[in-house]
């Protein structure tokens, strides 16, 4: 509520001054709902030990909470999120709304942790640049700690990719080294994946140093400072090719995390995507009057059109449809968050 009308006025002024296209009218901005409170998302290693334990407990709670809707091989709330991501994979990657869609997926997941599992702590991101910039092997990251993290690397010999006669696993050259062998998610079974397949399997990892250079801070900062339009920024982020940061974050964990369909089999998916979202947020913050509501890119992977702020994004089984406009400014509802750096 606080300072909402003055924010509105300054936004309107900023838009008039910047003269950029695709600017929402005052009426459109006004429809952005204000927040009663702004949550501060934190990096995993800046959590207290208690916060870490509570976060992991809430994820494990989602894994034992019944799904909202009945779908094949969706046995709990956690899997419901993964199944929606699998269902929409082609529609939400390499398109204009890649970043807005994944921002709201994170919000819905955080809301489920809080509303259904009693979680009271912050949402977590994983700033992989802190690991990639260090001289230590990636497997030494606190994120992979067996006690205060998400467990470590896949154990060789504990997982074998299933036969894939229909070409639905999309496992490609991903490093399906083995099942997570320690930590809170050792022994957890998921029922969707690899790819579009329906199989019961462990959370598979294969930590891979070869993706490391894509997530070093010089690469990330370079994208933030040199991307002068949303279009350039989006293309620099949303590319599974080696060297690009979205794919590289998936690649350093390896295994199913590198499967564009079923990556949500393991909980690090949400910490990785929160960090990508933070990088978008930082890019927006660097020039909010121009960038907060700047959107572009095709509505489909083959499309030659470009989306607008009115483009509708959907979250089957997870929540109502919303427009891209509603998630552009993280400090408005339904997002209501900022990052602590």
Ligand X SMILES: *[C@@H]1O[C@H](CO)[C@@H](O)[C@H](O)[C@H]1NC(C)=O
The least distance separating ligand X from the CB of residue 83, rounded to whole angstroms, comes to 16
The least distance separating ligand X from the CB of residue 163, rounded to whole angstroms, comes to 34
Q: Give CA separation, 150 vs 141, 158, 186, 314, in Å.
A: 10, 18, 9, 29
Nearer to ligand X, 51 or 314 (CB): 314
Give residue for tokens 């990508």. Answer: 276
Q: How far apart are CA 294 and CA 209, in angstroms?
A: 35
The least distance separating ligand X from the CB of residue 324, rounded to whole angstroms, comes to 12
Give the one residue of 31, 321, 340, 341 binding ligand X; rule: CB under 6 A: 321
Nearer to ligand X, 64 or 321 (CB): 321
Give the one residue of 314, 323, 336, 338 binding ligand X; rule: CB under 6 A: 314
> 183's torsion region: left (phi>0), alpha (psi -120 to 50) or beta?
left
Nearer to ligand X, 145 or 314 (CB): 314
Q: Please count the CA atoms within 13 angstroms of the CA of 58 that sit on its side-chain side.
A: 22
Q: How many CB atoms lie within 10 A of CB 323?
A: 17
Peptide bond into 194 cis (omega under 30): yes
Q: How far apart are CA 142 and CA 182, in angstroms?
A: 14
The least distance separating ligand X from the CB of residue 312, rounded to whole angstroms, comes to 5
DSSP, residue by residue, 160-194: -PPP-TTS----TT----EEE-SSTTTT-EE-SBS
Nearer to ligand X, 101 or 233 (CB): 101
Nearer to ligand X, 210 or 321 (CB): 321
Binding pattern to ligand X, positions 274-313, x when CB under 6 A?
--------------------------------------x-
The least distance separating ligand X from the CB of residue 320, rounded to whole angstroms, comes to 7
The least distance separating ligand X from the CB of residue 321, rounded to whole angstroms, comes to 4
Number of residues that bind ligand X (CB under 6 A): 3
Nearer to ligand X, 189 or 322 (CB): 322
Residue ranges binding ligand X (CB under 6 A): 312, 314, 321
């Amino acid at each position: 509520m606080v300072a909402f009308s003055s924010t509105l006025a300054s936004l309107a002024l900023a838009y008039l001054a910047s003269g950029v296209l695709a600017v929402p009218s005052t009426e459109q901005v006004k429809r952005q709902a204000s927040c009663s409170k702004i949550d501060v998302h934190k990096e995993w290693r800046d959590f207290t030990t208690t916060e870490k334990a509570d976060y992991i407990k809430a994820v494990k709670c989602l894994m034992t909470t019944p799904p909202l809707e009945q779908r094949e091989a969706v046995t709990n709330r956690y899997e419901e999120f993964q199944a929606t991501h699998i269902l929409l994979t082609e529609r939400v990657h390499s398109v204009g709304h890649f970043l807005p869609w994944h921002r709201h997926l994170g919000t819905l997941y955080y809301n489920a942790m809080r509303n259904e599992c009693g979680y009271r702590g912050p949402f977590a991101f994983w700033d992989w640049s802190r690991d990639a910039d260090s001289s230590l092997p990636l497997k030494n990251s606190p994120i992979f700690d067996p006690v205060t993290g998400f467990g470590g690397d896949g154990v060789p010999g504990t997982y074998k990719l299933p036969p894939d006669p229909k070409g639905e696993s999309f496992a490609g050259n991903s490093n399906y080294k083995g099942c997570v062998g320690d930590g809170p998610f050792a022994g957890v079974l998921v029922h969707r994946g690899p790819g579009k397949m329906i199989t019961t399997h462990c959370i598979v990892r294969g930590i891979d140093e070869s993706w490391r250079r894509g997530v070093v801070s010089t690469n990330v900062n370079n994208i933030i400072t040199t991307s002068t339009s949303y279009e350039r920024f989006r293309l620099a982020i949303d590319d599974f090719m080696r060297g690009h940061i979205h794919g590289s974050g998936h690649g350093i964990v390896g295994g199913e995390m590198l499967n564009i369909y079923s990556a949500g089999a393991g909980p690090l998916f949400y910490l990785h995507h929160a960090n990508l979202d933070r990088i978008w947020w930082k890019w927006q913050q660097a020039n909010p009057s121009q960038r907060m509501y700047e959107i572009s890119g095709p509505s489909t992977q083959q499309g030659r059109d470009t989306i607008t702020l009115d483009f509708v994004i959907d979250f089957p089984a997870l929540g109502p449809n919303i427009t891209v406009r509603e998630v552009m400014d993280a400090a408005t509802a339904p997002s209501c968050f900022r990052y602590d750096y």
